[in-house]
A and B are shown apart, each in its own frame.
Chain A
Amino acid sequence: MLSINAFNTYRIPQIFDYYRPRDLREALKLLESVEGAKVVAGGTDLVVDLKYRRIEVRALIDISRLDELRFIKLEDSYVEIGSAVTIQEIVESSIAREKLPLLVEAAESLGSWQIRNLATIGGNLCTASPAADTAPPLLVYDAELELVSLRGVRTVPIEKFFTGPKRVVLERGEILRSIRIPVSRNVFGWSYIKLRRTSFDVAKASVAVLLDARDGYIVDARVALGSVAPTPVRARGVERSIVGLKIEEAARVASERVVNEISPIDDARSTAWYRLQASKTLVSDAVWRAYERLLKIGV
């Protein structure tokens, strides 16, 4: 039963301590030492949960203003994005626009402008919503996540990061520091498509595709989906089955095979049946659009 009298969206109806550490090290120390502390960045998911009393917290550690987490930089073989970079900053970043057009396309479609100005890429991933818009692009980019704690640093491929709805591999005391995205020398066509109830809605289903083709045959394909499984998923079976095919055939096969790789559910936004049906079309559309973009770049 919804605790109808416990929530009050005019306030955050909970009493908790709020910390704004000066640097990442202090944040990590606080995270170790403060009992029941939770990390907050943009707060676009967390604050709603606090208002609705879906979660109770005793302390929040605000990392949204830490310069160490607010950068986008281009290295030889990768782009690195700090976890507190906002979605709108990604949209407006010249590095991202040039090197990561697929991520930009997904970022542009996230929420409204107001939400994009607050929400961070780290928050989008750590909240671990199956519908997180930045997850499918990062999955197909083979992004790696750098997790830090007082004990040290470890790197986790994004495909291993999500363990279930709202669950990730972060351990106690760990913070997502940055996302490293390999920059391939190959040219890819890209496409991010999603279905939603209105223009400012969370996705019913989403697909990210990166594609390379030669002479009309697919030579490399990467496909990931959101909102159709407990976590955002990489559809490796689809990828394997379409490499070597002509585009018409590839789009058709991708559409057939995708149903084996997803396990959608009913919720307020849509039904499992619809998500399954729509995913077939979305994947085919996304493959086609990525291919058409590739042709344009090729010229």
Chain B
Amino acid sequence: MFNFIGRSFPRHDGFAKASGLAEFTFDVEVPGMLYGRIFKSPHAFARVGRVDASGAEALGAVVLTPDDVPDRLFNPRLISIEEDTFKDWRVLTKVPRYFGEPIAAVAAPTEDTAQRALEALRVDFEEVYDPVLDPFKAMSPSTRPIHERVMRGGRWIEVKNNIAAELRYSEGDLDSEEKRSSVVIERKFHASRRYHTQLEPKGAVCKLEPDGTLVVWTTTQTIHNTKILISQVYGIPMNRVDVRKVLLGGGFGSSIHTNLVTLIAVGLCLKSRKPVKLVLTREEDMVHDHVSFEFYMKVRAGATRDGSITFGELDNLIDVGAHQIQAYPILGTSLGWFVSLYKWRAVKYHGRSVYTNKVPSCAIRGYGAPEITWAVETVVDELAEELKIDPLEFRLANYRGRGEIFWGQGPTVKSIIRSDGVPELIAKGSEIIGWKRRESPRVKTGRFRRGVGVGRGFHTSGAGGPLSGAIIDYTGAVVKVNEDGSIDYITALQDHGGGTLDAHIKIIAEELKIPPGKVRVVWSGTSTTVYDVCTHASRGVFTGGEAARRAALEVKKKVLEYASRILDSVSPEALRIEYDRELSDAVIFVEGAPEKRITLSEVARVAWQRNWGSISASVSYRATVAPPSFTVYFVEVEVDMETGVIKPIRVVAGADIGTVISPELAAGQIHGGFAIGWSWTVGDEVSYLENGVPAHRMSLTDYKLPTSMDLPSDEDFIVLFASTYEPFGPFGAKGLGEAASNPVIAAVANAIYNATGIRFYEIPMTPEKILKAIKEGE
């Protein structure tokens, strides 16, 4: 059916990355540039008195203090509309609210001088407060406020009891649904903070052009929002800020906002009038401005004797750390994930985001869905067990599928589900894992016990919708045919490294019937691209890919018009276009008149030679839906009852992503999604000492991630794709990135229960906790 979609091709940036030639922010060098270093707060909550720059300046360094940056509050993430944007950040602060918060910065001609200048800075603290680390204590009226007031859009709002944001929602008659229920289960869950551990630490390189334009290379998931934020904070017109696209070494949400390091680099560049490179070390990155949200969830849910779900209630308290990035939006999406998982007939929700003196939280792959899915999928498993109904049947009878209203990204982003591969994935996955042979944990004995669990989840493909809503979500693409028929593809959309732009290349190639190798992704910047909001919300292929397809379609129309002139057909409609493998080009011909044919390259050449003009298209595109990509994961684990050590034995990972554009890259996403989910479930957490210093001591020696050696081998990891087609996606495709990680905690937790008979309501589920629970049970 397709020429290129569904087939494997070398990645467009594969050689550069594999050979080490690829350029990341760290590699950008500008002649005469200074090296920056940040003075980070050694206190989790304090008030700065004097910043004495004389020692640093004596070494020849340029020093940036809180007085040198605009006194303007902002939120580093610009995805919400202005009136839903909560602003409580400054570029440099006089009131550090977390260990590591930037207070000042230096720039000097060498890295060593910069380090010595940093150490020569004298910062006096007028007051050092006891940090507020427990979100429940934070809400007590007697606790010191972390922020007294913040801005929402353009107006000030008071912060009460350190509650950064709150959201309540209810639907249906909960009391009567509860009365009707034969079983009600109530459970409390705690999901700890986790560090993104993206490969590339955050950084930026800035320079000023002679005309005053600021050029910025930086680690970002969104070049245009970075441009807008720099413009807003420093008061520079947007056409004088050119944020250049540069390869990104992974994101996972850690650059959904403009990282503070970028704004500090800009400040140093503007003050020194020299190019500046400011790149965080790994250790600094661990306390800079990103870590996952920490969730305290209470779920109540009921079902009737015949196995239909009645009501669901979620109390969701989120520790967001010292500043807002998405403290308010995460409350809406948490609700969206909850509501859209099952057909609750009544729903009650109370969400609160609470400030603490910790590194500010932001989205991490799944944006709350992995945690909510874990809590719900645990309670659903328990309901099924209580009702003595097979957990798979129970899910099939109650999940939200085709034809249902779906609002994963929150109450302002609703759409109808049109493609749904859940039944297929449950049928195939359960067969492969051997679900029918699954035994109750009560009959298991011996030291090494195996268990099988299931987790079903989803993620949206983007945050589009039929109404404008509270989230900005549109994108754009420029496709240009060169005079020899080669294609330039110009997009602002950032590829985190998963191969999003390779999917775009295939989509353009498929539309134009030319080999993917003829399409080049142009490394461009905000000055030469149209707006794209951000690569987040698993929208890269679904939204960005559709924009690319539409631009290619416009180009195709022009090509056919010109071909019609050349071939003398009555109209372009009389022409067909096909991929010719031998010519390695698109061939345009009149059906039934084989002599009337011409290649796309020849059309381009003729259009040039005859002065017909360029063939190009610029498209701005807003998706009117955000369809769910469903994932159903079956996991088998083995628990050593004497040491509490858990091993993943087998994974059968099913994904409904509509048309699969790049099977190998998609399978890679699924492997990666499992790996990150596994690390959240059994790996390390970011906890804090009493003085507010992270217990990992800013070190990957103390904060460990599983390696490939700790994960199942390829033979024991089976990837399934559902045979679905999403009518709104490019060639039927949906998103994947986050759906790939969303059911993992749930599936692993259910498998641990099936192995041991013990339910854990706290992640990470470390061997220490597991062994303790086993010993307590004995």
Q: In terms of DSSP, what is the predominant structure of the interface of chain B?
A: loop
A201 CA to B702 CA, complexed, in Å: 9
B710 in contact with A9 (CB, 8 Å): no
> Do B37 and A278 have beta carbons less than 8 Å apart?
no
- Whether B282 is near chain A, meaning CB under 8 Å from some CB there, is yes
- Contact string against B for A residues 1-39, beta-carbon threshold 8 Å, 1 for contact and 0 otherwise: 111111111110100000000000000000000000000
Task: Evaluate contact between B99 and A4: CB separation under 8 angstroms.
Answer: yes
Bound together, the chains give a CA A8 to CA B115 distance in angstroms of 8
A11 x B42 contact (CB < 8 A): no
For B99, the chain A residues whose CB sits under 8 A away are 4
Chain B 300-319 near chain A by CB (<8 Å), digits 1 or 0: 00000000000000000000
How many Å lie between the Cα of A278 and that of B699 in the bound state?
25
Determine whether A299 belongs to the interface, using a CB cutoff of 8 Å to chain B. Answer: no
Complex alpha-carbon distance, A199 and B675, angstroms: 14
B238 contacts the other chain (CB 8 A): no
B771 touches A6 (CB 8 A): no
Stretch at the interface among A70-78, A86-94, A243-251, A268-276: A268-276
Whether A270 lies near B705 (C-beta < 8 A) is: no
B701 pairs with A4, CB closer than 8 A: no
Contacts of A126 in B (CB 8 A): none
Q: Which residue of B lies closest to A267 (CB)?
A: B702
Residues of A near B42 (CB, < 8 A) are 1-5
Q: Are B40 and A4 in contact (CB under 8 A)?
A: yes
**Residues A245-289 near B (CB distance < 8 A):** 268-271, 273-274, 277-278, 281-282
Is A186 on the interface with B (CB-CB < 8 A)?
A: no
Q: Which residues of A contact B281 (CB under 8 A)?
A: 8-10
Chain A neighbourhood of B43, CB < 8 A: 1
Residue with the highest number of chain A CB atoms closer than 10 Å, among B111, B696, B767 = B767
Task: Assess A271 versus B768: contact at CB under 8 Å? Given A4-B99, A8-B281, A198-B705.
Answer: yes
Residues on A with beta carbons closer than 8 Å to the beta carbon of B642: 281
A48 to B115, CA, bound (A): 17
A273 vs B775: C-alpha distance in the bound complex, in angstroms? Answer: 12
Give, as a whole number of angstroms, the nearest-CB distance from A215 to chain B: 27
Nearest Cβ on chain A to B531's Cβ, whole angstroms = 35
Our count of residue pairs bridging A and B at CB distance below 8 angstroms stands at 88
Residue numbers in B under 8 Å from A2 (CB-CB): 42, 693, 697-698
* B691 pairs with A5, CB closer than 8 A: no
The complex places the Cα of A48 from the Cα of B771 at a distance, in Å, of 33
**Bound CA–CA A25/B198 (angstroms):** 47
Residue in A5, A197, A271 whose CB lies within 8 Å of B704:
A197
Q: Specify which chain B residues have a CB less than 8 angstroms from the CB of A48 in the assembled complex.
A: 701
Residue of A nearest to B703 (CB): A268
Closest to A270 in B: B768
Q: Is the pair A198, B768 in contact by a Cβ cutoff of 8 Å?
A: no
Chain A residues bordering chain B, tally (CB within 8 A): 31
Q: Are A199 and B710 in contact (CB under 8 A)?
A: yes
How distant is the Cα of A268 from the Cα of B698 in the complex, in angstroms?
12
Partner of A274, one of B696, B699, B702, B771: B771
Q: CB-nearest residue of chain B relative to A195?
A: B643
* Set of chain B residues within 8 Å of A270, measured between Cβ atoms: 768
Residues of chain B within 8 A of A8, CB atoms compared: 37, 111, 115, 281
| CB nearest to B110 among chain A residues | A11
- Taking CB as reference atom, which chain B residue is nearest A201? B704
Query: Which B residues are in CB contact (< 8 Å) with A9?
Result: 281-283
**Chain B positions 106-131 with a Cβ under 8 Å from a chain A Cβ:** 111-112, 115, 118-119, 121
B282-A1 in contact (CB<8A): no
Decide: A5 and B768 in contact? CB cutoff 8 A: no
Contact, CB under 8 Å: A1 / B112: no
- B672 — which chain A residues lie within 8 A by C-beta? none
Say yes or no: A198 contacts B710, CB within 8 Å.
yes
- Segment 502-539 of B: residues with Cβ below 8 Å from A: none
Query: What is the chain B residue whose CB lies nearest that of A205?
Result: B643
Q: Is the CB of A268 within 8 A of B697?
A: yes
One digit per residue, 1 when the CB lies within 8 angstroms of any chain B CB and 0 when it does not, for chain A 190-211 equals 0000010111111000000000
A197 interface neighbour in B111, B121, B683, Cβ under 8 Å: B683
For residue B33, CB closer than 8 A to chain A, the reply is no
Cβ distance A130 to chain B, nearest Cβ, rounded Å = 15
Give the distance in Å from the alpha carbon of A232 to the alpha carbon of B281 in the complex.
Answer: 33
Please tell me if the beta carbons of B702 and A268 are within 8 angstroms of each other in the complex: yes
Among residues of B, the one whose C-beta sits closest to the C-beta of A15 is: B112
Are the C-beta atoms of A199 and B37 separated by less than 8 Å?
no
- Cα–Cα, bound, A273→B769 (Å): 11
A200 contacts B707, C-beta separation under 8 Å: yes
- Cβ contacts under 8 Å, A273 to chain B: 768, 772
B197 to chain A, nearest CB (A): 12
Chain A neighbourhood of B118, CB < 8 A: 5
B40 contacts A5, CB within 8 Å? yes
Assess whether A1 is in contact with B691, with CB atoms less than 8 Å apart: yes
Residue of B100, B111, B115 touching A4 (CB-CB under 8 A) = B100
**In the complex, are the beta carbons of B39 and A5 less than 8 A apart?**
yes
* A158 smallest CB distance to B (angstroms): 26
Q: Which residues of A contact B771 (CB under 8 A)?
A: 274, 277-278
B643 touching A278 by the CB < 8 A rule? yes
Residues of A within 8 A of B702 (CB): 268-269
CA distance A202 to B701 in the complex (A): 8
The interface residues of chain A lying within 8 Å CB-to-CB of B473 are none
Q: Which of A5, A11, A271, A274 has a CB less than 8 Å from the CB of B112?
A: A11
0/1 string, B642-678, CB within 8 A of A gives 1: 1111000000000000000000000000000000000
Distance, CA A195 to CA B767, complexed state (A): 10
User: Which residue among B699, B710, B768 has the maximum number of chain A CB atoms within 10 Å of its CB?
Assistant: B768
- Complex Cα distance, B710 from A5, in Å, reads 34
Cβ of B574 under 8 Å from chain A: no
Question: In whole angstroms, what is the CA distance A199 to B710 when docked?
Answer: 6
Query: How far, in angstroms, from A282 to B704 measured CA to CA in the complex?
Result: 22
Mark contacts of B24-42 with chain A using CB atoms, 8 A cut-off: 1 yes-contact digit, 0 otherwise.
0000000000000101111
**Using a CB-CB cutoff of 8 Å, which residues 174-229 of chain A contact chain B?**
195, 197-202
B341-352 near A? 1/0 per residue, CB < 8 Å: 000000000000
Q: Kindly provide the distance from the CB of A254 to the nearest chain B CB, expressed in whole angstroms.
A: 14
For residue A271, which residues in chain B have a CB less than 8 angstroms away from its CB? 768
Which residues of chain B (270-284) have a CB below 8 Å from chain A?
279, 281-283
**Smallest CB–CB gap between B33 and chain A, Å?**
15
Q: In the complex, what distance in Å separates the CA atom of A243 from the CA atom of B709?
A: 37
Q: Judging by beta carbons under 8 Å apart, are B111 and A199 in contact?
A: no
The listed residue with most B CB atoms (<10 A of its CB), out of A197, A273, A277, is A197
User: What chain B residues lie within 8 Å of A268 (beta carbons)?
Assistant: 695-697, 701-702
How long is the Cα–Cα vector from A159 to B43 in the complex, in angstroms?
43
Closest residue of chain A to B100, judged by CB?
Answer: A4
Contact A199 B709 (CB under 8 A): yes
Q: A5 — which chain B residues lie within 8 A by C-beta? A: 39-40, 42, 118-119, 121
Residue of A nearest to B774 (CB): A277
Least CB distance from A91 to B in Å reads 16
Which residues of chain A come closer than 8 Å to B115, judged between CB atoms?
8, 11, 13
A277 touches B283 (CB 8 A): no
- Residue B684 lies at the interface, judged by CB distance under 8 Å to chain A: yes
Q: Which chain B positions have C-beta within 8 A of A1?
A: 42-43, 691, 693
Known: A195-B645, A278-B771, A281-B643. A6 touches B697 (CB 8 A): no
Query: Could you tell me the distance in whole angstroms from the C-beta of B257 to the nearest C-beta in chain A?
Result: 22
The reply on B706 being an interface residue by CB < 8 A is yes
Minimum Cβ distance to chain A for residue B520 (Å):
34
Chain A positions within 8 Å of B698 at CB level: 2, 4
Residue of B644, B696, B704, B772 near A198 (CB, 8 A) is: B704
Can you name 26 A-B pairs with beta carbons within 8 Å? A1-B42, A4-B41, A4-B287, A5-B40, A5-B118, A5-B121, A6-B119, A8-B115, A11-B111, A11-B112, A11-B115, A13-B115, A197-B684, A198-B706, A199-B710, A200-B709, A201-B704, A268-B697, A268-B702, A269-B702, A273-B772, A274-B644, A277-B643, A277-B771, A281-B642, A281-B643
A-B interface, 5 closest residue pairs, ranked by CB to CB distance from nearest: A199-B709, A268-B702, A281-B642, A274-B768, A197-B704
Contacts A10-B281, A199-B710 supplied; 8 other A-B pairs, CB < 8 Å: A3-B42, A11-B111, A13-B115, A52-B283, A202-B701, A270-B768, A273-B768, A273-B772
